[in-house]
């Protein structure tokens, strides 16, 4: 990036070639449909290009790009929520937070607050691992390095966390269905 | 660069054709330049309005001297914070925006802490006096530097726009307040609270709202 800021277009191109797959993986952790992912990745690339003058080469590059990426991704998600609040027909199958492996509970609840609520039920360490892997886009290896754990320990911890999340989600779904059936009985 | 229905490689190529933008100067350098221009503006105004008669005597009082020093520090740190916040990553100093709050607390304790004159009756009395000239003076002293700072911050790509707006306003008004302390021969703490500090708080709220609309990076 230092070379790019000095006007080296080849270096600038190299930066984009290097970060694009990382961004794709980062965005892919929050969005399901490849077209949406590509769309947001392009938004982020444009933002990085437009903000290239704000990067100081003495500061870590990764933090800078991920701040921009997170901002644009949040913008995108916010736009989706805003549309859903207005009652626009949104295909929520397009979105997933990939917090459960077997069932996508967001199809039922479609609500970020809901996710953060069930995330609170996790122990701090597991919550941090899920957050890093599924929201911030770190790989298990990176999380292991950052948290001073072995990679397999991170994977096991993440797997347990997903199980807890799936269980919590299933309980809520069950409760909802029970409430609905009660309402039906009352009406009858 | 507009995003259309093109593939990512094509988009990258388009951005390469435009090339990277020239980097912004270091926030410290921007702060220094803004500070120089602001001090020049305030010095001109103080020349026009004239410093308070007892200025030499007042500077020999430690509390007054520290009061001025803290206001100066508040102005500098909030300027630096505003300029760091003009970067999307806040110049990777997330706690910097809280430093001016520390200055405000220290200054408030020094300036008003333990003052027996601050009571409800005096506050109502001060309000009834309607000394709006202080408010207009602070506005006059703060508006041009504040506008300049907002324009500089806008050149960046701020994503913490409310904080950036608040910091930019705080910075300009801190210098406005400082100049008022050098000009106005009134050290009554109730007057200072009601006609100097409270308007500044209100201006900071307005600055925060303006920041939301004017500084948001789209």
pLDDT in tens, B97-116: 999 999 999 999 988 887 88
pLDDT at A105: 47
pLDDT at A174: 72
The pLDDT confidence band at residue A85, using thresholds 50, 70 and 90, is low
- Residue B91 within a domain: yes
Pick from B1, B20, B24: CB nearest A12: B20
Start-to-end Cα distance in chain A: 68
- Residue B27 within a domain: no
- Residue B10 within a domain: no
Number of domains in chain B: 1
pLDDT in tens, B152-174: 999 999 999 999 999 999 999 99
- Mention every residue, 6+ apart, whose C-beta is less than 8 A from residue B54: B185
Tokens of A150: 């072995």
- Residue B150 within a domain: yes
Q: Chain B window 78-107: which residues touch A at a Cβ cutoff of 8 Å? A: 86-92
Neighboring chain B residues of A37 at a CB cutoff of 8 Å: none
Buried b vs exposed e over A17-50: b needs ≥16 C-beta within 10 Å?
eebbeebbebbbbbbbeeebbbbbbbbbbbbbbb
Domain containing B165: what range? 55-214
User: Could you tell me the domains of chain A?
Assistant: 2-93 (1.10.1740.10), 106-187 (1.10.10.10)
pTM passes above 0.90 = no
pLDDT at A188: 64
Whether chain B has a CB inside 8 Å of the CB on A51: the answer is: yes
Count of CB atoms situated within 10 Å of the CB of B64: 18
Whether chain B has a CB inside 8 Å of the CB on A4: the answer is: yes
Instruction: State the Cα–Cα distance between residues B152 and A30, nearest whole angstrom.
Output: 34
Instruction: State the Cα–Cα distance between residues A100 and A166, nearest whole angstrom.
Output: 6
């Amino acid at each position: 990036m230092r070379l790019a800021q000095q006007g080296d277009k080849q270096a600038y191109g190299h930066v984009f070639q290097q970060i694009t797959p990382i961004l794709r993986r980062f965005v892919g952790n929050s969005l399901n449909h490849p077209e949406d992912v590509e769309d947001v990745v392009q938004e982020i690339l444009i933002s990085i290009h437009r903000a290239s003058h704000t990067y100081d080469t003495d500061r870590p590059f990764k933090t800078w790009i991920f701040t921009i990426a997170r901002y644009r991704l949040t913008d995108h998600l916010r736009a989706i929520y805003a549309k859903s609040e207005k009652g626009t027909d949104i295909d929520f199958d397009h979105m997933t937070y990939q917090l459960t492996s077997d069932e996508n509970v967001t199809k039922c609840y479609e609500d970020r607050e809901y996710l953060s609520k069930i995330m609170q039920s996790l122990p701090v360490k597991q919550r941090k691992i899920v957050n890093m892997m599924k929201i911030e886009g770190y790989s298990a290896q990176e999380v292991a390095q950052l948290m001073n754990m072995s990679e397999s320990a991170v994977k096991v911890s993440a797997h347990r966390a997903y199980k807890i999340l799936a269980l919590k989600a299933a309980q809520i779904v069950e409760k909802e269905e029970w409430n609905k059936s009660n309402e039906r009985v009352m009406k009858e | 660069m507009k995003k259309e229905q093109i593939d990512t490689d094509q988009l990258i190529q388009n951005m390469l054709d435009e090339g990277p933008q020239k980097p912004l100067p270091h926030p410290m350098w921007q702060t220094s330049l803004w500070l120089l221009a602001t001090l020049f503006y305030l010095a001109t105004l103080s020349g026009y309005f004239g410093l308070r008669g007892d200025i030499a005597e007042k500077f020999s009082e430690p509390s007054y001297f520290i009061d001025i020093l803290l206001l100066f520090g508040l102005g500098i740190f909030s300027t630096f914070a505003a300029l760091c916040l003009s970067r999307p990553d806040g110049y990777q100093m997330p706690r910097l925006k809280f430093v001016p709050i520390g200055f405000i607390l220290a200054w408030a304790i020094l300036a008003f802490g333990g003052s027996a004159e601050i009571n409800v009756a005096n506050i109502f009395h001060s309000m009834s006096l309607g000394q709006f000239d202080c408010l207009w003076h602070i506005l006059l002293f703060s508006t041009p530097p504040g506008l300049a700072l907002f324009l500089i911050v806008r050149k960046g790509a701020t994503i913490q726009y409310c904080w950036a707006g608040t910091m930019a306003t705080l910075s300009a008004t801190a210098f406005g307040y400082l100049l008022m302390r050098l000009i106005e021969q009134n050290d009554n703490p109730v007057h200072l609270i009601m006609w100097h500090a409270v308007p500044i708080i209100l201006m900071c709220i307005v600055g925060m709202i303006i920041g939301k609309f004017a500084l948001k990076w789209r």
